[in-house]
Amino acid sequence: MLVCFVRPMIVVAGASDANQEGMGAFQEWPQVESCRLYTKFTARPDSPERIPFYVEKVFYQISQ
């Protein structure tokens, strides 16, 4: 018998500033677009102050 336990995983990754997009900045990779195929929810906060909003949204999504 195969038993599978599914546990949600939350990933927070660093990225270059949005105003440096297209300039070859360090860590410039379409991270959100790359993860979208494998996740229930992806986002890129526009400021550090918005992180709590998105964390709350993530917990709502994984509870669905």
pLDDT digits (tens, 9 = 90+) for 12-45: 877 767 767 777 766 667 777 888 888 888 888 8
Helix (H, G, I), strand (E, B) or coil at 47: coil
Which two three-digit tokens encode residue 63?
Answer: 């509870």
Q: For the chain, which residues make up each domain, given as ranges?
A: 30-62
pLDDT at residue number 50: 92
The predicted pLDDT at position 52 comes to 93
pTM for the model = 0.63
Task: Tell me which DSSP letter residue 23 carries.
Answer: T
Instruction: Measure the CA–CA gap between 13 and 19, rounded to whole angstroms.
Output: 17
Long-range contacts (CB closer than 8 Å, 24 or more residues apart) made by 58-61: 58/10
- The pLDDT of residue 25 is 66
